């Protein structure tokens, strides 16, 4: 039997089958990595690896949107850092804007908590400061909707420094009224409700990103403008009454608040009423927190409408007469200056004793 030396071992016909198996295994081991190589043709719309890993039908769309958002944020941050803000010039613009009466009158709100008055910048002033301060991104977004409520987020981002702050909140699709409440189904009503509820959160995050000394300087400038430009003319008072009438507040209630008539109102009181109006408009407080209910009687009211009779007029300090046990009503006092010759009530002594 012929023997040949092959690959370190002696080959014989008995090992022919073993050699064939070795060759087939070697061929399989060589060709297996070639099957695992990626395809040479790439998808022109999305990466094939991402689609294969996610296994979802919209994975490519999500990847494209996320990449686009990341690229947009990176571009905005690069532009902001390439054009940094000039703090001195931005502060001058903010103080100049605060000299406008239209901005100053709506820039400060005020509300009462625990017996003290709390004041602060309104959303209008916060937005005006953000515009002049520059390199800021802020807004309100609805990130999800679950049946009868929406999950929202209010955010503010300083693109130059990278500081970011947000407030997450839920908005129920419900509107309360005096007669009760009802569910909101119209998209416009839901959008307006989310926008109104998000204004406070947006103001909070903006004031967190903007330096506090900038906000305080803007508040002081608005205070000076309101004091100097307070309109105490009859037309200005009329506009003030019309503005408060939207919240069901009447002139007697306002006069009871300032302890004087509106025709003699002072500029400082106009400023104070303006802060209260801003607080009511932004939903920071209610009318009952500032004004007491004033009950006014009508001229044409008849006597039957009164539930209790008017008590008889008596002299000052005179003790009331006790009603007899028999149930007879006490005798009425004679009218001042009558035939009995009794002096008027104003001329009577403080105490009258009968023998």
CB 200 within 8 A of CB 283: yes
CB 205 within 8 A of CB 155: yes
pLDDT, position 190? 93
Percent residues over pLDDT 90 in the chain: 35
Domain-by-domain residue ranges, the chain?
4-31, 87-216, 230-289
Structure-token pair, residue 351: 């105490």
Structure-token pair, residue 92: 């001058």
Residue bearing tokens 């608005």: 222
pLDDT, position 17? 55
How many Å apart are CA 71 and CA 323, to the nearest integer? 92
pLDDT band at 98 (very low <50, low <70, confident <90, very high): very high
| 314 exposure class (CB count in 10 Å sphere: 0-12, 13-18, 19+) | middle
Choose from 56-70, 204-218, 315-329 the range with maximum mean pLDDT.
Answer: 204-218
Report how far apart, in Å, the C-alpha atoms of 35 and of each of 38, 51, 272, 309, 352 are: 8, 19, 80, 106, 122
Residue bearing tokens 């990466």: 47
Mean pLDDT of 3-22: 54
pLDDT, position 355? 35
DSSP category for residue 8? T
pLDDT, position 313? 46
Structure-token pair, residue 202: 């947006």
Closest CA to 223 of 160, 270, 257, 256: 270
State the Cα angle at 13 between 8 and 14, rounded to 5°.
85
How many Å apart are CA 214 and CA 131, to the nearest integer? 13
Decide if pLDDT at 296 tops 70.
no
Percent residues over pLDDT 70 in the chain: 65
State the Cα angle at 113 between 110 and 117, rounded to 5°.
40
pLDDT band at 343 (very low <50, low <70, confident <90, very high): very low
How many Å apart are CA 100 and CA 206, to the nearest integer? 21
> 317 vs 82, which has greater pLDDT?
82
Report how far apart, in Å, the C-alpha atoms of 86 and of each of 77, 81, 90, 220, 252 are: 16, 12, 6, 22, 50
How many Å apart are CA 355 and CA 346, to the nearest integer? 22
Tens of pLDDT, residues 206-252: 999 999 999 999 999 998 998 888 888 888 889 989 999 998 999 99
Q: Which of left, alpha, beta for 15 (phi over 0: left; psi -120 to 50: alpha)? A: alpha
DSSP category for residue 292? -
Decide if pLDDT at 315 tops 80.
no
Tens of pLDDT, residues 18-61: 555 555 555 545 445 555 555 555 655 554 444 444 445 555 66
Q: Taking the model in full, what pTM does it have?
A: 0.57
pLDDT band at 294 (very low <50, low <70, confident <90, very high): low
Decide if pLDDT at 180 tops 80.
yes
DSSP category for residue 185? -
pLDDT, position 55? 46
Q: Is 161 helix (H, G, I), strand (E, B) or coil?
A: coil
Q: Is 139 helix (H, G, I), strand (E, B) or coil?
A: strand
Using N-to-C axis directions, what is the helix angle for 234-245 and 267-281, rounded to 10°?
A: 20
pLDDT, position 284? 78
How many Å apart are CA 301 and CA 355, to the nearest integer? 42
Decide if pLDDT at 256 tops 60.
yes
Closest CA to 237 of 251, 252, 219, 217: 251
> 303 vs 179, which has greater pLDDT?
179
Structure-token pair, residue 52: 């294969």
Neighbour tally for 7: CB within 10 Å: 7
pLDDT band at 164 (very low <50, low <70, confident <90, very high): very high
Closest CA to 211 of 90, 117, 351: 90
């Amino acid at each position: 039997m012929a023997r040949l030396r092959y690959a370190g071992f002696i080959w014989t016909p008995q090992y022919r089958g073993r050699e064939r198996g070795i060759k087939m295994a070697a061929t399989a081991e060589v060709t297996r990595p070639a099957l695992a190589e990626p395809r040479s043709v790439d998808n022109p719309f999305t990466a094939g690896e991402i689609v294969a890993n996610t296994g979802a039908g919209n994975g490519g769309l999500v990847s494209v949107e996320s990449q686009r958002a990341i690229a947009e944020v990176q571009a905005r941050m690069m532009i902001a850092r390439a054009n940094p803000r000039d703090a001195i010039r931005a502060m001058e613009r903010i103080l100049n804007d605060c000299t406008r009466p239209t901005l100053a009158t709506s820039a400060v709100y005020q509300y009462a908590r625990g017996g003290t008055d709390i004041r602060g910048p309104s959303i209008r002033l916060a937005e005006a400061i953000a515009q002049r301060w520059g390199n800021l991104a802020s807004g309100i977004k609805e990130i999800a909707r679950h049946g009868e409520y929406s999950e929202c987020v209010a955010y503010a981002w300083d693109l130059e420094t990278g500081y970011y702050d947000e407030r997450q909140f839920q908005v129920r699709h419900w509107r309360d009224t005096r007669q009760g409440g009802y569910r909101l189904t119209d998209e416009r009503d839901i959008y307006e409700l989310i926008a109104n509820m998000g204004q406070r959160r947006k103001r909070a995050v903006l004031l967190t990103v903007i330096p506090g000394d900038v906000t305080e300087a803007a508040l002081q400038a608005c205070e000076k403008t309101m004091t100097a430009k307070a309109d105490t003319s009859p037309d200005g008072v009329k506009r003030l009454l019309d503005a408060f009438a939207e919240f069901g507040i009447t002139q007697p209630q306002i006069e009871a608040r300032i302890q004087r008539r509106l025709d003699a109102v002072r500029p400082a009181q106009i400023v104070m009423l303006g802060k209260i109006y801003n607080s009511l408009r932004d939903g920071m407080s209610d009318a009952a927190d500032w004004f007491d209910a004033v009950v006014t009687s009508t001229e044409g009211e008849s006597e039957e409408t009164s539930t209790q009779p008017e008590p008889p007029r008596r002299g000052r300090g005179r003790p009331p007469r006790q009603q007899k046990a028999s149930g007879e009503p006490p005798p009425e006092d004679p009218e001042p200056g009558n035939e009995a010759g009794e002096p008027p009530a104003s001329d009577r002594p403080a105490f009258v004793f009968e023998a």
